[in-house]
Amino acid sequence: MAGIYIHIPFCRHKCSYCDFASFPDKIDYAEAYMACLYKELKMRGEELKGYTFDTVYFGGGTPSYIPPKLIAGAMKQVRKCFTLAKDAEITLELNPGTIGDTKVKVYKEAGINRFSIGLQTAIDEQLEDLGRIHNARDYVYATKLLTGENFSTDVMLGLKGQTKEDIRKTIELAHLCGSKHISMYALTVEDGTPIYTDYLNGELPDSDEVAEFYEYGYSLLKEKGYERYEISNFALPGYESKHNLNYWRRGEYIGVGLAASSFMCGKRFTNTFNLDEYMKCIISGFYSAITCDDVNENQAKFEFIMLGLRTKYGVSVKEYKAKFGTELGEDFPVAFKKSLQYFQLNGDNIRIKDEYMYVQNSILMPFLEELPEEETE
Ligand code: SF4
């Protein structure tokens, strides 16, 4: 399986917690940027002729902020330059404050068949605190436009003043509006973002409270029929995100656009975060990758374990042996023994027990510590 990620770095307003490659004041660059992006798609398409891609994902930034014809144009270029599977999953991230019926029509005609909506919270004061441009009513309106479509909703935990009741309202709203998939994740506070001051002032819920919110949200989602298939991702049966599953299965993907990351042919590489540099490189016929690392055998083993254990599918010991020619338990004897109490073993399959999923990072730490040092550069 392989995926294509396309980054659209424009937003109407910078959110107070945002550390992503996104610009609130550069929409005038959108056409020129997309012309470069079409060119990069062509360059990558020529290199990847033998591949069939199963997913396309427009992320950002706010892909729904730029004129929809530019998204349609990108899809046209993708089809021209790459081979897509017949049932390819094509997702577009959408901000509820930037959507209307004409846009939805253009997206559907372009073949977008999945939408990911950034609701974050159904409480308007919290949305305002986050610097989001939408309110809960905008979300309801957006979901009405998407009636019958496959869409996912983002829900955020750890907001200033947030209570369990707020989380209940948010999850219920997403459910009632027809969300087939919910991503529920904790706010990450990055140094240098405006929300960092709230964090320093102790105004945000601490990690114990967030863990409690998570368990509460998880129980509500379970009640409503959403199954957890990854630590932060919950889906009604059959609505798991294929694009993200490909990441967690160590599938290959090509990232196109500013700051986009790729994993192809055993290498992980990332494009520049500088908009001018990105455009100059592409115009001159070069890629803008600023990092490119070979993934060595030991790193690949760790990635296989770490990514697989994030999901409900876990890892297969047989598959590990088939891929690497060695035994998982022998490669990581100390970590394996330490973590055994947290694992559920089923035939050749290992997964983290349900009750320990939230603390998986600490369970995985011993595996990272056991990676031979000389090969982790
Ligand atoms: S909409 Fe997303 S990418 Fe844009 S500023 Fe807000 S958090 Fe950042």
Pocket test for ligand 1, best of 15, 121, 130, 185 (most atoms within 8 A of CB): 15
Query: Is any atom of ligand 1 closer than 6 Å to the C-beta of 14?
Result: yes
In a domain, 280, yes or no: no
In a domain, 356, yes or no: yes
Query: Is any atom of ligand 1 closer than 6 Å to the C-beta of 98?
Result: no
In a domain, 263, yes or no: no
Query: Counting atoms of ligand 1 from 1, which one is nearest the CA of 22?
Result: 3
Q: What is the pLDDT of residue 1?
A: 93
Q: What is the pLDDT of residue 373?
A: 67
CA angle 293, 240, 97 (to 5 degrees): 90
User: Are 70 and 147 in the same domain?
Assistant: yes
In a domain, 271, yes or no: no
Residue range 99-131, pLDDT digits in tens:
999 999 999 999 999 999 999 999 999 999 999
User: Are 14 and 162 in the same domain?
Assistant: yes
Tell me, in angstroms, the distance from the centre of ligand 1 to residue 92's CA. 14
Q: Supply the range of the domain harboring residue 307.
A: 297-375
CATH of the domain at 94: 3.20.20.70
Tell me, in angstroms, the distance from the centre of ligand 1 to residue 93's CA. 11
Q: What distances in angstroms separate CA 167 from CA 121, 220, 269, one per listed residue?
A: 7, 9, 37
Among protein residues, the one with the nearest Cα to ligand 1's atom 2 is 61
User: Are 75 and 166 in the same domain?
Assistant: yes
User: Are 242 and 329 in the same domain?
Assistant: no
Query: Is any atom of ligand 1 closer than 6 Å to the C-beta of 18?
Result: yes
User: Are 316 and 236 in the same domain?
Assistant: no
Query: Is any atom of ligand 1 closer than 6 Å to the C-beta of 62?
Result: yes
Among protein residues, the one with the nearest Cα to ligand 1's atom 3 is 61
In a domain, 54, yes or no: yes
Query: Counting atoms of ligand 1 from 1, which one is nearest the CA of 13?
Result: 5
Tell me, in angstroms, the distance from the centre of ligand 1 to residue 278's CA. 20
Q: What is the pLDDT of residue 371?
A: 82
How many Å separate Cα 5 from the centre of its chain? 10
User: Are 102 and 183 in the same domain?
Assistant: yes
User: Are 22 and 81 in the same domain?
Assistant: yes
User: Are 189 and 312 in the same domain?
Assistant: no
Query: Counting atoms of ligand 1 from 1, which one is nearest the CA of 24?
Result: 5
Query: Is any atom of ligand 1 closer than 6 Å to the C-beta of 78?
Result: no
Low-confidence stretches of the chain (pLDDT beneath 50): 375-377
In a domain, 105, yes or no: yes
Pocket test for ligand 1, best of 62, 99, 127, 159 (most atoms within 8 A of CB): 62
Tell me, in angstroms, the distance from the centre of ligand 1 to residue 52's CA. 31
Tell me, in angstroms, the distance from the centre of ligand 1 to residue 9's CA. 9
Q: What is the pLDDT of residue 376?
A: 44
Q: What is the pLDDT of residue 322?
A: 96
In a domain, 273, yes or no: no
Tell me, in angstroms, the distance from the centre of ligand 1 to residue 20's CA. 7
User: Are 236 and 310 in the same domain?
Assistant: no
In a domain, 272, yes or no: no
Write the CB contacts of 283 (distance below 8 Å, at least 6 apart in sequence).
36, 39
CATH of the domain at 321: 1.10.10
Residue range 127-143, pLDDT digits in tens:
999 999 999 999 999 99
Domain count, the chain: 2
Pocket test for ligand 1, best of 13, 20, 58, 195 (most atoms within 8 A of CB): 20
Query: Is any atom of ligand 1 closer than 6 Å to the C-beta of 61?
Result: yes
Tell me, in angstroms, the distance from the centre of ligand 1 to residue 22's CA. 7
pTM of the full structure: 0.95
User: Are 237 and 302 in the same domain?
Assistant: no
Pocket test for ligand 1, best of 14, 25, 189 (most atoms within 8 A of CB): 14
